[in-house]
Chain A
Amino acid sequence: EDQVTQSPEALRLQEGESSSLNCSYTVSGLRGLFWYRQDPGKGPEFLFTLYSAGEEKEKERLKATLTKKESFLHITAPKPEDSATYLCAVNNAGNMLTFGGGTRLMVKP
């Protein structure tokens, strides 16, 4: 059974304090790893897709990386508006995403 574990569950940062979120996965045949952002009361918003180990993608202050066992979401010089829950998900069979529990990020000014 596919498993996705995210750590930490919650992370408090000061504005400008860079950090990384971890997503460890066990899946039989990874076809894609996805990062989403979810704000309270809203649906997940797509951020990145990574397909193979060594791949990296960047968007503004966010950078996602992928190895054979885990993915990292690096946040450089975060701002308060980056506060949200970040979700990691894997796709193997093509039909469904298996999600981790998420990391709740709080960035204080």
Chain B
Amino acid sequence: NAGVMQNPRHLVRRRGQEARLRCSPMKGHSHVYWYRQLPEEGLKFMVYLQKENIIDESGMPKERFSAEFPKEGPSILRIQQVVRGDSAAYFCASSPRQGIDIQYFGAGTRLSVL
């Protein structure tokens, strides 16, 4: 029973390029959450999605960041025109239901912007 799968594990981009981070939730899970962990900081919520719907994006920067969870395929976190301040570890979590259900995390994607 595979856990939450994230890829790539490491991603290097130059300033101005685009970064695409992928997340496949655990089998049977239809709720996906993205969190960001900046160096020396705690995990911060970014966005919560269900299939084909963004439910809560209150933690997402207003510009350059977008997320989707299509009917088929993984959830994608997209960062356009990356800047050095986007360098961080991005974690995806999934749960079978909303609310106080346990969120299971993937291993993360470490983005480095040169």
Contact = CB atoms under 8 A, between A and B. Distances in A.
A48 to B, nearest CB: 10
Contacts of B42: 87, 99-102
Interface stretch (B12-20, B43-51, B61-69, B77-85): B43-51
Interface string A90-107: 010011111111100000
A43 B91 contact: yes
B106 A97 contact: no
Contact of B100 (A44, A51, A100): A51
Interface of B: 4, 6, 33, 35, 41-45, 48, 55-56, 58-59, 91, 93, 98-100, 102-108
Contacts of B56: 95-96
Interface residues of A, number: 24
Contact of B107 (A42, A87, A96): A42
A102 B59 CA distance: 20
Nearest to A98: B45
Contact of A43 (B44, B45, B99, B108): B108
A41 B35 CA distance: 15
A12 interface: no
A65 interface: no
23 contacts: A31-B100, A41-B107, A42-B107, A42-B108, A43-B4, A44-B105, A45-B105, A46-B105, A49-B100, A49-B102, A91-B99, A94-B99, A95-B33, A95-B45, A95-B48, A95-B55, A96-B33, A96-B45, A96-B48, A97-B33, A97-B103, A101-B41, A101-B42
A97 B6 CA distance: 19
A72 interface: no
